[in-house]
Structure 1
Amino acid sequence: MILLSFDIEEFDMPFEYSKDISFEDQMQISIEGSHKILDLLEKHEVRATFFSTATFAIHAPEIIERIKRAGHELASHTYYHSDFKVPHLRESREKLEALSGMKVTGFRMPRMMPVDEKEVAKAGYTYNSSINPTFLPGRYNNLHISRTYYMQDNVLQIPASVSPLVRFPLFWLSFHNLPLNLYSWMAKKTYQKDQYLNIYFHPWEFTDLDDFERFGFPGYVRKNTGVKMEERLDRFIAKMKKNQLPFGTFQEFIRTIQK
């Protein structure tokens, strides 16, 4: 099963590049991108999982309603995207459930940062997808961690997908920077090896990020954003469906592996 997921959040990434962006602009960009994602998923009749901060959900009720109406899964991306305290684990889950009326069982830390699995379990989650099991200088050093799902402290860990052998990450940055045919080939090979694929994106990738003065992003971040990203994801989903690879939510995937 292909697990498409989207981290829907306040778009605070420009702060990492010493650029100011108002909260209103953060939300507008993420809301517009989320609508584009939902339109694509509807076109292809694909269900996905949306890891939402509570803050985003509070300020974007129309997105949460579309997610629910379309049969997608809602999961937690903690309360705020750039501020984390342990109580936010439970608080974000409870807020998302109250706002949506949906059962929230999954969690992902912003920026795939480490989190105490015992606290994740205590907060009421059954799975966590906060690990990128690869090595990226200055970000991750997780070569010692399993490439595929495993249990830890009563929480099912579902790492982001990386290729077999060299553990090349198949996350959003490689989707933007590799030729699409090469990325698709690597994704299919990984699927054949693992029998599933876990890849994630963000709604702000569907905005043209080429304005360096506004966002400050280097070329590898802003490459193939905006309309180009819409076209690439459209083509990727079509390629995978042509190969008869099924798509589903994390909750649906978990039911298949627990049989």
Structure 2
Amino acid sequence: MILLGFDLEEFDLPIELGKEINFDEQLAVSTIGNAAVLALLKKYNIKATFYCTANYADHKPDVIKQIIADGHEVASHGYYHSAFATEDLLRSRLRLQEITADAVTGFRMPRMMPVDEEEISKAGYVYNSSLNPTWLPGRYNNFDQPRTYFYKSGVLQLPASVSPLLRIPLFWLSFHNLPMWLLKSLCSSTLKKDGYLNLYFHPWEFFDLATKPQYGLPSYIVRNSGQKLLKRLSEIIEGAQSKQIAFGRTGDFVETFIR
């Protein structure tokens, strides 16, 4: 099975890089990209999981309701993308449940940063997908962590997928920068080894970032964004469907195949 996850947040990456972008534009970039993602998923009749910040949901409840109406899962991505307090774990879950009128059982920490699993459990989450079990300079050093799912503090940990041997991450930046033949090969070998793929993206990647040089984004993020990224993801989806490989929501995977 392939699990597609989309971190739906206020697009604050330019601020992280020292540039300016007002809040309305942050929302607009993510919302435009998210519309493209929803259309793609509908085209291929795929259900996915959207890890949403409650801050985005507060300002765009219609988008969140459309995600639910299309049959997708909403999980928590915290309250704010660039600020965190422990109480936000429960606050975000309750707020998202209020907006969706549906249970919120999953969590992903912004930027895949560490989070206290005891607090995740106390906040009522069933699973946490906040671990990238690889090494990236200045970001992650998780070679000592399991590659595949495990339990911690009573919460199922579902790491992002990495290749079996060298732990090459199969995350959003890989889809921007790796040759498609290599990306497909790595996805295939990882799926064969683990029995599933846990892939994650951000809706703002599906906005044509090349049209906004003022954001100051590095080329490895801008490359293959917008329609080019949609095409790349479509190739992965079509290849998997041709082999009868299923796609599903993360919460359903957790309940059906693991618990």
TM-score w.r.t. the length of structure 1 is 0.98
Could you tell me how far apart the structure 1 residues matched to 2:151 and 2:220 are? 34
Q: Return structure 1 stretches of 4+ with deviation > 3 angstroms.
A: none
Could you tell me how far apart the structure 2 residues matched to 1:112 and 1:43 are? 29
Q: Which runs of 5+ in 1 are unaligned?
A: none
SS at structure 2 position matched to 1:210 = helix
Query: What are the within-5 Å matches in structure 2 for residues 53-202 of structure 1?
Result: 53-202=53-202
Could you tell me how far apart the structure 1 residues matched to 2:8 and 2:146 are? 26
Could you tell me how far apart the structure 2 residues matched to 1:63 and 1:243 are? 32
Q: Which residue of 1 aligns with 2:224?
A: 224
Could you tell me how far apart the structure 1 residues matched to 2:256 and 2:103 are? 18
C-alpha RMSD of the superposition: 1.0
Could you tell me how far apart the structure 1 residues matched to 2:121 and 2:84 are? 17
> Deviation digits for residues 49-98 of structure 1, max 9, x if unmatched?
00000011111122111111111110000000000000000000000000
User: What is the total number of aligned residue pairs between the two structures?
Assistant: 259
> Deviation digits for residues 156-202 of structure 1, max 9, x if unmatched?
00000000011000000011101122211210110000000001000
- 1:255 Cα deviation after fit: 2.2
In the alignment, residue 41 of structure 1 is paired with which amino acid?
A: L
SS at structure 1 position matched to 2:99 = helix
Which is worse superposed, 207-216 or 57-66?
Answer: 207-216
In the alignment, residue 7 of structure 1 is paired with which amino acid?
A: D
In the alignment, structure 1 residue 246 sits paired with structure 2 residue 235: no
SS at structure 2 position matched to 1:115 = coil
SS at structure 2 position matched to 1:7 = strand
Could you tell me how far apart the structure 2 residues matched to 1:207 and 1:241 are? 25
> Deviation digits for residues 16-72 of structure 1, max 9, x if unmatched?
211100000000010111111000000000000000000111111221111111111
Could you tell me how far apart the structure 1 residues matched to 2:173 and 2:258 are? 31
SS at structure 1 position matched to 2:247 = coil
- 1:210 Cα deviation after fit: 2.0
In the alignment, residue 123 of structure 1 is paired with which amino acid?
A: A
> Deviation digits for residues 95-119 of structure 1, max 9, x if unmatched?
0000110100000000000000000
Q: Which residue of 2 aligns with 1:52?
A: 52
Could you tell me how far apart the structure 2 residues matched to 1:13 and 1:202 are? 11
- 1:212 Cα deviation after fit: 6.2
Could you tell me how far apart the structure 1 residues matched to 2:242 and 2:183 are? 16
Q: Which residue of 2 aligns with 1:210?
A: 210
Could you tell me how far apart the structure 2 residues matched to 1:167 and 1:235 are? 23
Could you tell me how far apart the structure 2 residues matched to 1:242 and 1:256 are? 24
Which is worse superposed, 81-90 or 179-188?
Answer: 179-188
8 Å CA contact 2:65, 2:99 repeated in 1: no
Q: Matched residues, percent identical? A: 52
Q: Which runs of 5+ in 2 are unaligned?
A: none
